[in-house]
Chains A and B, each alone.
Chain A
Amino acid sequence: MISGTKLKNILIVFLAGIALTACATQKKSGMMQGDVYTGSDTVEFLASGVKDRVFFATNKSTLTTASRDTLRKQAAWMRKKKKLTFTIEGHADERGTREYNLALGERRANAVKDYLMTYGISGNRLSVISYGKERPVNSGSNPLAWSQNRRSVTVKAN
């Protein structure tokens, strides 16, 4: 009977521990929706209010609502800066094979280029390059780091 109560107490402590861990994880993954990064830790700005990058889900090159919003702001700014040209860098996380990731980075960069073009930016001003998994921005090996590395970054080229 005594040992039974003890066991129960241990169990409660144990469960409380799990609950705490769960909270901690949630807080951390609060910067992700699904596995797409939604935070601003690595983000830089092309101009005031114009974010330089968008993030992707694992193995995907689909633009999220937030990404499209960012890219429309980029396009609006690019329309004003007519003399500037840009390189769009496509990146992948470290959890894929190297060659496939190169192709995936190229696909991501082109998804961004296509979207910018539909908002009036000439394709001549936009070049793409894929780095695959070669240039991570966050060197950690965890889901948050990987979500920050699955990205496409718009960089001034001139």
Chain B
Amino acid sequence: MKKLIFFIFYLFLFNGPAHALVEVDITRGNLDPLPIAVSPLFVEVGSEDIKDGDKIIKNVGEEISRVIEKNFKRSGLFNPLNKDSFVQKPDIAHIKPRFEDWRLIKAQALVTGKVNVTKDKLRAEFRLWDVVAAKEMVALAFSTTPENWRRVAHIISDKIYQRLTGEEGYFDTRIIYVSETGPKTQRYKKLAIMDQDGANIKYLTLGNELVLTPRFSPKNQLVTYLSYFRNLPRVYLLDIETGVQEVVGDFPGMTFAPRFSPDGKKIIMSFAKDGNSDIYTMNMETRVVERITDHTSIDTSPSYSPDGKYICFNSDRSGLQQIYVMRSDGSNVKRITFGKGLYGTPVWSPRGDLIAFTKVHKGKFYIGVMRTDGSGERLLTENFYQEAPSWSPNGRVLIFYRETKSDDQGKGFSAKLWSIDLTGYNERLIETETDGSDPSWSSLLSK
């Protein structure tokens, strides 16, 4: 992956940020998505086709604009307008849009661009226009290898999202998850990775052993997960580039629930022995193991705060599963959930101000968020079974998995990936080839 990220960014025109009329209110959810026209990127004369696996992509400018539109639509914040209503040709619009035409179809923002493909290089540029104020808002050009054309679309989406919302985007990212097939009593599970929009699915393990709970390192190259290789449930590390796997939690008992520290240097996990689970860290450079909790109860699902100073986790030391916060050395343990029901799978938001969690109450499962002291609990979605939220890198969207109820014969069972906005709006199924669970969101790839 490293070699693929040779993007050369250069700004060739940039109007100051404060004057634009067009902006997206991100505090309200999808009540009023911004009408945006994404013109197909103009493909320059002499540009070559792209070979993408078995497919030949003839009009990559059109394809890029489709990927951008899908990103925008799924975000719930934008309403991409139907291309049939576009009057101006892509090449002319990119030079100077006739804003009256675009106003007529009620577009408030317009994206134009052009692209040129040679054998080993794809050069793309785009402009974002404020249709109402008749002004250019941002313009960028960059080069990459042709097979990276989808990432070009995601990076353009991120730049536009950032310009219009004031927040960093999350489109140039990937999801790692567990692909599931087979009957409920004997599921086959494989690690799978895909782009945030569900494209480019790749399977990273063969399904010979049970694998669970993969999580990205902050630099996205490594994944830590639980594998039942040789029937010994242990925490493993996988290098996505080289495919090399190694056991990291080889303790005399089960290690599970792994996650990276925000600096990527440590893995925090649970170690279960003699009926008791406690939280440990392992420094990946020195291999030094540190015990963080020491309690006769079940302590698991640890997650660091983004500054690395605190850890949230769930424990049943009160008798039932609840969420606790402590300093990263294990001191100063405080229970933060006191509501009705059980609380588990806490994950600290990348912005640092919230903790997302799973709540179980009266036979229903909820995904919710609260402040890091446990106040301000907001339940975003209720269902028969759902758990394990993971944050988008900008802290705006949560991805999680949901299982359906099965009948007495086990029929009707499925596990699917879903996402929902922090606002509680814009709940969406993420389509995957197989059933899926345990999703984990990467950081931005091009950061």
Nearest A residue (CB) for B210: A134
In the complex the two chains form, is B257's CB within 8 Å of A102's CB? yes
Stretch of A45-53, A78-86, A140-148 that contacts chain B: A140-148
Asked if B321 is at the interface (CB within 8 A of a chain A CB), the reply is yes
Q: Indicate if the CB atoms of A139 and B213 lie closer than 8 Å.
A: no
Q: In the complex, which residues of chain A have a beta carbon less than 8 angstroms from the beta carbon of B277? A: 103, 106-107
Q: Which of A3-11, A12-20, A89-97 sits within the interface?
A: A89-97
Say whether B120 faces chain A, with CB atoms less than 8 Å apart: no
A102-B256, A145-B408 known; A139+B300 contact, CB < 8 A: no
A61, A102, A129, A136: the one within 8 Å of B185 (CB): A136
Identify which of residues 121-147 in chain A touch chain B, using a CB-to-CB cut-off of 8 Å. Answer: 129-131, 134-142, 145
Docked complex Cα distance between A19 and B231 (Å): 49
- 5 closest residue pairs by CB, A with B: A139-B410, A110-B275, A139-B184, A103-B277, A97-B344
| Residues 289 to 329 of chain B near chain A (Cβ within 8 Å) | 298, 300-301, 314, 316, 320-321
- Report the separation of the CA atoms of residues A102 and B272 in the bound assembly, to the nearest whole angstrom: 9
Q: Return chain B residues, CB-CB under 8 Å to A59.
A: 316, 320-321
Residues of A within 8 A of B321 (CB): 59, 96-97, 100
Interface residues on chain B, size class: 35 or more
- Chain B residues whose CB sits within 8 angstroms of the CB of A99 once the complex forms: 213, 256-257, 270, 300-301, 344-345
Q: Are A111 and B183 in contact (CB under 8 A)?
A: no
Is B285 in the interface zone, CB < 8 Å from A? no
**A75 interface residue, CB < 8 Å from B?**
no
Residue B358 lies at the interface, judged by CB distance under 8 Å to chain A: yes
Distance of A62 from chain B, by nearest CB (Å) = 12
Most buried by B among A94, A102, A107, A111: A102
Cβ-defined contact, A139 with B345, below 8 A = no
A71 in contact (CB, < 8 A): no
B301 and A135 contact, CB distance less than 8 A:
no
How many chain A residues touch B (CB < 8 A): the figure is 31
User: Do A103 and B385 touch across chains, with their CB atoms under 8 A apart?
Assistant: no
Q: Once the chains bind, are A107 and B276 in contact (CB under 8 Å)? A: yes
Closest chain-A Cβ to B241's Cβ sits at a distance in Å of: 27
**CA gap between A98 and B439 in the complex, in Å:** 13
Q: Cβ of B274 < 8 Å from any Cβ of A?
A: yes
Contacts of B344 in A (CB 8 A): 96-97, 99-100
B388→A97 contact, CB < 8 A: yes
Is A114 located at the chain interface by the 8 A CB criterion? yes
- Cα–Cα, bound, A142→B405 (Å): 9
B385 touches which of A95, A104, A114, A135 (Cβ 8 Å): A95
Residues in A with CB closer than 8 Å to B298 are 100, 103-104, 107
11 interchain pairs (CB within 8 A)? A59-B316, A94-B385, A97-B321, A99-B257, A99-B345, A104-B298, A110-B275, A130-B233, A134-B210, A135-B185, A136-B185
- Selected from A94, A98, A111, the residue in CB contact (under 8 A) with B213 is A98
Q: Give Cα A110 to B233, complex, Å.
A: 15
Decide if B406 is an interface residue (CB 8 Å cutoff): yes
Question: Given A140-B406, A140-B408: A129 and B233 within 8 A (CB)?
Answer: yes
Contact residue among B186, B300, B360, B406 (Cβ-Cβ distance under 8 Å from A103):
B300
